[in-house]
Amino acid sequence: MSAEQNIIEVDDLKKAFGENVVLKDISFSVKKSEKVVLIGPSGSGKSTLLRCLNRLEDDYEGKVLFEGENVNGASKEKLCLLRQKMGMVFQQFNLFPHKTVLENITFSPIKLKVASSAEATEHAHELLEQVGLSEKAEAYPQSLSGGQQQRVAIARALAMNPEVMLFDEPTSALDPEMVGDVLDVMERLAKNGMTMIIVTHEMSFAQNIADKVLFMNDGMIADSGTAKHIFKETDNARTRSFLSKVM
Amino acid sequence: MFDFLKQYYPVFVEGTAQTIIISIIGILIGILLGLIFVMMRLSKVRVFSYIARVYIAIVRGTPAMIQVMLIYYTLSKVLEVPQIQFLGSGLDRVIPGSIALGINSGAYTAEIFRSGIISIPNGQTEAGLSLGLSDRTTMFSIILPQAVRNILPALGNEFISLVKESSVLFYIGVQEVTAQALGVGGTLYDFVPPLIVAALIYFVLTFILSQLMQLLEKKMGRKYLQSN
């Protein structure tokens, strides 16, 4: 595994909120096109870890390298550029309620001058078609269901043509019947070769999609390996007990 | 009872115009200062946040009348404003007076802005930042437009207060509508009718203002409610 293939490298990451240490010596790497799934009990630090990658969580120790560039040490301007290459999808969608679906998607590419207004609009319509919401371009987020909102959020993140997509429990806030649509979109994205890091509680989805599964427990990567290893073969008692509860 | 209006209506018109002008200037300065101070108040730089807190505490904790007089007497020493007459008052009084109104209003406006900003979920900021937008763009294009919509009723209140409070400029000799009414009252040896006229004028002004704010609320709210 040469370092050049790694699009993300995390080395000895430590993060604490005051006295509360939530991440302890996390190290792992992600290769281009790889799908890494983070699983583990609530409070184990999965989301915090994901949020350290694009520095929505700040003030951590250790190294996070994205395409060889140090995320932790980046200046504000540099950080904005790095974040443009890391799309993020949130549990609560976080669409901009004062903008239409189309404006949600085109706002940042236009504002950040990565595309002209016409290009961004064209790209946005393509993305909406990909997520199956072409007819919703002029709607406001409030009028959409949760599953539709999340698919728009995915389209919005993709509009910046990111190198990596970070998913922070993308289906946890959805009604069960909406989950499938969102997972379908993610699966298609995976097939197209997108590098993805996913925090999820959808175990069968994780099993299907993951090239690598990291099982997190108490701020540490307690177990890691292929989906087959984690879900079928592991000897790790914590992993087994967690999986027996959620599957 | 209101026969005097035949003779004195130009005075009231002038006073009303003066009130409108000082109020508009006061509101504009208030919004500007409110924005500046709310950014300072929410800044991670301690000194900025501290300065903003002190400003807000002083303005809220002291009478507007004293503030206006202090600002007028201080500014008149520092600022050389030519003694040009404008709607019956010297600009050397109107300008410091409106600035004082703005400084007063700015503190309240800053707090109103703050309440609006903290009412927007943190996820909105995070979504903006995660797309690679700068802190500033996220604040001005994502957070503030939503915050302003939430605080329009409170802002409307503040603007209405300011129109009424602008009567304190009477103390520094700005001939706004209250001052004019008192002047007319002095000439007539009867204060009640001219003060009723002044009160009616304030009522009409604030009523129009509140209608305008409601219109704005509707306009900003409409698109949120618009369904597909």
Token output for A158? 């993709």
- 8 Å CB contact of A97 and B134: no
Token output for A176? 């069960």
Does B141 contact A at CB distance below 8 Å?
A: yes
Which residue carries 């404003």 as its tokens? B81
Crossing angle of helices B91-118 and B64-78, in 10° steps, is 130
What b/e readout covers A5-17, taking b as 16+ CB neighbours within 10 angstroms? ebbbbbeebebee
Vertex B94, ends B84 and B183: CA angle to 5°?
95
Residues in B closer than 8 angstroms to A135, CB to CB, are 228
Q: CA dihedral defined by A160, A166, A172, A175, rounded to 10 degrees?
A: 30
B169-205 per-position pLDDT tens digit: 999 999 999 999 999 999 999 999 999 999 999 999 9
How far apart CA B228 and CA B222 sit, in angstroms, is 13
- Flag whether pLDDT at B165 surpasses 70: yes
How distant is the Cα of B105 from the closest Cα of chain A, in angstroms?
A: 28
How far apart CA A41 and CA B32 sit, in angstroms, is 48
Question: What's the confidence (pLDDT) of residue B67?
Answer: 95
- 8 Å CB contact of B124 and A157: no
Q: Calculate the average pLDDT of chain B.
A: 92
pLDDT band of residue B227 (cuts 50, 70, 90) is very low
User: What CATH architecture applies to the domain A6-244?
Assistant: 3-Layer(aba) Sandwich (3.40)
Q: Which CATH superfamily is domain B5-227 in?
A: MetI-like (1.10.3720.10)
How distant is the Cα of A90 from the closest Cα of chain B, in angstroms?
A: 8
Question: What's the confidence (pLDDT) of residue B224?
Answer: 65
Name the interface residues of A facing B (CB cutoff 8 Å).
54, 56, 76-77, 80-88, 90, 92, 94-98, 107-108, 111-112, 135-136, 138-140, 142-144, 153, 156-157, 160, 166
Nearest chain B residue to A81, by CA: B132
| DSSP codes of every residue in B183-221 | HHHHHHT--HHHHHHHHHHHHHHHHHHHHHHHHHHHHHH
In angstroms, what is the C-alpha Rg of chain A? 18
| Chain pair A-B, CB pairs under 8 angstroms | 83
| DSSP codes of every residue in B133-190 | --HHHIIIIIIHHHHHHHHHHHHHHHHHHHHHHGGGGGGGT---HHHHHHHHHHHHT-
Q: From the candidates A47, A53, A56, A66, which should be mutated to test the interface with B, based on the most B CB atoms within 10 A?
A: A56
B84-105 per-position pLDDT tens digit: 888 878 888 899 999 999 999 9
Residues in B closer than 8 angstroms to A92, CB to CB, are 121, 123
Question: What's the confidence (pLDDT) of residue B223?
Answer: 64
Name the burial class of residue A36, with classes exposed (0-12), middle (13-18) and buried (19+) by CB atoms within 10 angstroms of its CB: buried
Name the burial class of residue A233, with classes exposed (0-12), middle (13-18) and buried (19+) by CB atoms within 10 angstroms of its CB: exposed
Residue type, B26: G
Name the burial class of residue A244, with classes exposed (0-12), middle (13-18) and buried (19+) by CB atoms within 10 angstroms of its CB: exposed
Q: From the candidates B125, B131, B134, B226, which should be mutated to test the interface with A, based on the most A CB atoms within 10 A?
A: B131
User: Strand, helix or coil at A148?
Assistant: helix
- 8 Å CB contact of A92 and B129: no
- 8 Å CB contact of A95 and B226: no
Question: What's the confidence (pLDDT) of residue A104?
Answer: 97
Q: Cα dist. A42→A35, A206, A219 in Å?
A: 21, 16, 11
Which residue positions in chain A have pLDDT lower than 70? 1-4
Which residue carries 């004195």 as its tokens? B8
- 8 Å CB contact of A136 and B142: no
What b/e readout covers A123-153, taking b as 16+ CB neighbours within 10 angstroms? bbbebbebbebeebbebbbeebebbbbbbbb
Does B134 contact A at CB distance below 8 Å?
A: yes
Question: What's the confidence (pLDDT) of residue A4?
Answer: 56
How distant is the Cα of B137 from the closest Cα of chain A, in angstroms?
A: 9
User: Strand, helix or coil at B106?
Assistant: helix
pLDDT band of residue B228 (cuts 50, 70, 90) is very low
Does B221 contact A at CB distance below 8 Å?
A: no
Question: What's the confidence (pLDDT) of residue A224?
Answer: 94
- 8 Å CB contact of B130 and A56: yes
Q: Decide the pairing of beta strands A195-199 and A35-39.
A: parallel
Token output for B163? 């129109």
Between residues B223 and A221, which one has the greater pLDDT?
A221
What b/e readout covers B11-37, taking b as 16+ CB neighbours within 10 angstroms? bbebbbebbbbbbebbbebbbebbbeb
Question: What's the confidence (pLDDT) of residue A1?
Answer: 46
Residues in B closer than 8 angstroms to A157, CB to CB, are 130-131
* A90 vs B126, B145, B226: nearest CB: B126
Which residue carries 């927007």 as its tokens? B120
Mean pLDDT of B36-60: 96
Question: What's the confidence (pLDDT) of residue B208?
Answer: 97
**Where along chain A do its domains lie?**
6-244
* A142 vs B127, B129, B224: nearest CB: B224
How far apart CA A172 and CA A54 sit, in angstroms, is 21
Token output for A202? 């959808």
Count of residues making up chain B: 228
- 8 Å CB contact of B129 and A136: no
Token output for A207? 């099993």
**Where along chain B do its domains lie?**
5-227
Mean pLDDT of B65-74: 93
